[in-house]
Structure 1
Amino acid sequence: MPRNPSTGVYSKPAGTTPSVGQVIDPVPWNALTTDLGNEITNSLPRDGSAPMVAPLKAASGTVSAPGIGFASVPQTGLYLKGGGLLGFTQNGVDVAFDPSLVYAAKSADYLAVAADNNAVHRYTAAATLTLTAAATLGVNWHYTVIADGADVTIDPDGAETINGAPTLIIPNNKAAWLVCSGSAFYAIVVDRFASAPKGHINGLVLVNTPGPGDTTNDIDIAAGEAASDGTIPYLMVLASALTKRLDATWAVGTNQGGLDTGSVGNNTYYVWEIQRSDNGVLDALLSLSSTAPTMPANYDRKRVIGQFARVGGVNSVPRSYSQVGATPWVAYTPTFNGVGTVTGLVCRSRRVGSNLEVEVTFTTGVATATIFDMTLGFNGVSGGIVCDTFWNSNRPLVGVGVLNVAGATSLYVLGLGGSGLVNISFASAGRDGFAPVPANAIGSASVVGLRFSVPIQGWN
C-alpha cells in the first residue's frame, strides 16, 4: 500500500515479511516493489534535478526553531505565527515588516488604532486625532498625518505625551510623521510645500504681449519661480507662461483680468506672483501697490516680480526684477542732522544687487554748524542698515546732488564704512569736495536734491 497521505507513514503490504524456507508469494511482493518504485519517484531529489509537483507542507515551527531553516543556521528561516501569519526569523529573532501603506481622507475626529500602522491620513477639516494607548499600539507603530484644510490636534491616550507635551497641533498645510516608543509618541512636523531662500527669484520675465494679443493692456509672464515674501518663504513655481490683462478685474487663469482693484489709469503698476496655500494654485496680479496689493480670496502668498508704467493709455516695456536684481522703490522718512525741520520731503529707496539706491529732495530748515547727515533706509524703514565696512575709514563718493540756491551748486554724497548715515560735500574755495560740510554751508531754506548708491553691509 502507498504512503499514508495524512501522516506520511509508509506501511508494507501484508505477506511481505517472509521466514526462512518460505516460498515467496509473488502478488504481495510485486505490490511492495511497485510501492517502493512509486515512492522513490515521488521523493524530492536532493540535487534539485526535479521540482515539486504539489504544495510542500512544512512543520509550523517557532521563532527559535523555524519550520523551514538552514542546516548551517537552523534558527534562521520561516515559521507559522499565530493567526496563520507567516513569520521570518533571523538567528532566533523575529523579523518585522511594515504592513502595506494605506491612504484615506478624513474630515472629522478620529481614533487611531493598531490597524492604522503605516497609514497615511489626510485631514481636510479641523479634527482631533486621538491615539490608542502606546502600550497597545506597540513599539515602532507609525502613522502619517497631513493637514490639508485646517489644523489637526493630536491627543495621546491619558497622560501619555507626544514630543513631551500632552498634545501636538499640526498647522494647516503641514504634515507629521508619528512613531510610538511603546510608552510615548514622537513626531516630525514638515511643510507640505517646499521652502525657499528668502528673496529667491528666477525666470518670471515680463514682456508686453506680442501680436496678435492686446499689446496695449496685456502683460506676459514667463515660467519661473520666486520665494514668497512671508516670514517663512515658500517656493512658488510657475510652470508655464501666463498672460494677465490690466484692463479687467482679476480672475484666475491666463488671458484673464489682472487688476487687483479700481480702474486702469496712467500709473506705475507692480506685477505680483500669488499663490493659494490650500491647493497650490498659482496666478499673477497687477497692482498700484508695491507692498500690499488687494489679494483675491484664498490667495495668501505673494511676491512682487516686476513693474511697468502705463503712459498715454498704453503699457510701457516692463522691468523684471529677476533680470535687473532690483526691488521696487519704496518711500521712507530719513532723519536729518544740522538742517532743522525740513519741508517738501520726497524720499524713496530700493535695493539693486548689493547696493541701496536712494532718491531724495527736500528744503532745509534752519541750518546750524553741525555736520550734515541723513539716515539710510530700506523697505519703508529708516535706519537698520549700514554702509559696507570694506570702505573702512574713507568717505568715498557714493552719489551726487544739486543745491538750488544762489544758482545751482553740484553736491557730492559721501558714505562711510560701518555708518548708517551719508554726508554732503562740495568743492569750493578751501574745500576739496571729500570732507563733510556743516549744514550752514548748505544754508537755511535751501532746496536740495540727491541721488546716491551705497554698498550695504551683508547684502553681498
Structure 2
Amino acid sequence: MPRNPSTGVYSKPAGTTPSVGQVIDPAPWNALTTDLGNEITNSLPRDGSAPMGSPLKLASGTVSAPGLGFSSTPQTGLYLKGGGLLGFTQNGVDLVLAKASVYSVKTGDYTALATDDNAVHRFTANATVTLTAAASLGANWQYVIVADGGTVTIDPNGAETIDGAATLIVPNGYSAYLICSGSAFFTDKVLTRLLAKAESTAVGSFIDGLLLSNNVANPTTHLDFAAGSARSGSSFVSSASTMTKRLNGTWAVGTGNGGLDTGSVAASATYFAYAIRKDSDLSFDVVLSTSATIGGVTTTLLTGYTIVKCIGVVLTDASSLIRQFVMYPRDEYTFVTPVRDAFNAAINTTSALLAITVPNGVKVKANLRFMYLSSATTASALFSDPAQGVLVAGGNNEGGNVGTIQVASSFAVGSDEIWTNTSMQIRRVAGASGNMWVWTDGFIFPCGRNA
C-alpha cells in the first residue's frame, strides 16, 4: 500500500511516472488509480458526512499552537502537556480545570498521600492526619478534611507548617480545605474565621457543668472536674470528659498531672481553679492558683494558653490536704466533715470579727451553725455580714440568730447563711457575755453556674 501508515505520506507505485512518447503500461496505472480511490475513501470528508473509522491522531501542539485548533482562532483548542496530560488553551492561555473529587470515610489516624490529591475524607472519630512531605505532594495538591464524629489534628511532615503553625485542629463539626505550595501547607482560612467569629460575637459569662469533686482514689491530693463548658466574654472552652488534676504538683498539660501554677501545696490555704484553653487547638485544661483573680495567676507554665474563667475553689487543712467536700449546683459546697471554727470561745456585747473556714480573698456566703451559752436569763447572739457594720444584739436592737437564753447557763442554738468579707471573717456580738460554738458546714462561692 503506497501510503505509509506511520507517517501518512503517500508514495506513487513504481512505473507510474511516464515520459513523452512512452507507451503506458496499464498494470501500474490501474494500481495507481485503485490506490487513489482507496485513499480518497479513507480520507475524512470536510463536510462531516462520514465519521472516522479509527482514532484521530493529532500533533502534540503547544499552549500557543494547540494540536487541535480552529481556523478563526488557532490559539484556542487542545494540546498535549508534559507527562501525557491533556491541556486546554484559550487565546493562548492555559485553562486549569478542577480535578475530580474522591470521597472516603476514615475511622482513625491516617497518612495523606500524593494519591489523595483532591480527595475529601470524612473522619468519624478522633484522629491525627499526618501529611506526606510537601515536596513529595507537590504544588497544587489539594485535600479536604471533614470532622464528623471527632476532632481531627492535621500534622505536617517534620518542621513543615500549615498556615504557619505546627499543627491545625479541626474540631468536630467543622471542615478544612488544604493546599500544598510544594514547601508548606495553607488553608482557605474559613475554619479560622468561623472559630474566630464564634469567639468574638459571643457575649456573657457562664459555667455549664465542670463541677469539682474529690478524686475517689486520691481524695486528699487529686481533684476531678466534670465535663462541661465555660465562657467569659468572648473566651470559651469546653471539655467532653472528666479531667483530674493533682494539687500537690506544678502544672503540666493533661489529665492526671499537676495543677499548681507555681510553688508547692500549702497548709490551710485556698486554691482557685481556672478553666484554661490551649490557643492552637482550643483544648481544655485546668490550673490551680492561690490568686483570687485571673490577673494574679502565674503564667510561666501556661505559654500558649488563655485563662478563660474561674470555675471553683478548694481548701486545704493544716496538713496541706484537700478538705473533702461535695459540690452542688449553683456553686454550693458542703464539707464532708463540718469545721468547728469556735469552741467555747468568749463572746460579749462588744462587736468583733470572727475568722471561719471559707475561701480567702473573696466574699462567700457561709453556711453556719451556732451555739450560745450565757448566765443571763434573757440574751441572744447575733452573727452577721461585716459589710453591715457594727450591730447590737437584742430584741430592742438588731435582734439575734442564735435564739434567746430563757434559763441561766443553758444553751441556745441557731443557723444562718452569712456573707463574709474577703478575709474569711463574719461579725459576732451578744446581748450578754457568754461563750460560743461555731460550725462551718460549707459555703457558696458564685462562679456563674445557673444549674
**The two structures share one fold, judged by TM-score above 0.5:** no
Give the number of the structure with larger relative contact order, counting CA–CA contacts within 8 Å between residues 6 or more apart. Answer: 2
Class of the TM-score when normalised by the shorter of the 2 chains: 0.3 to 0.5
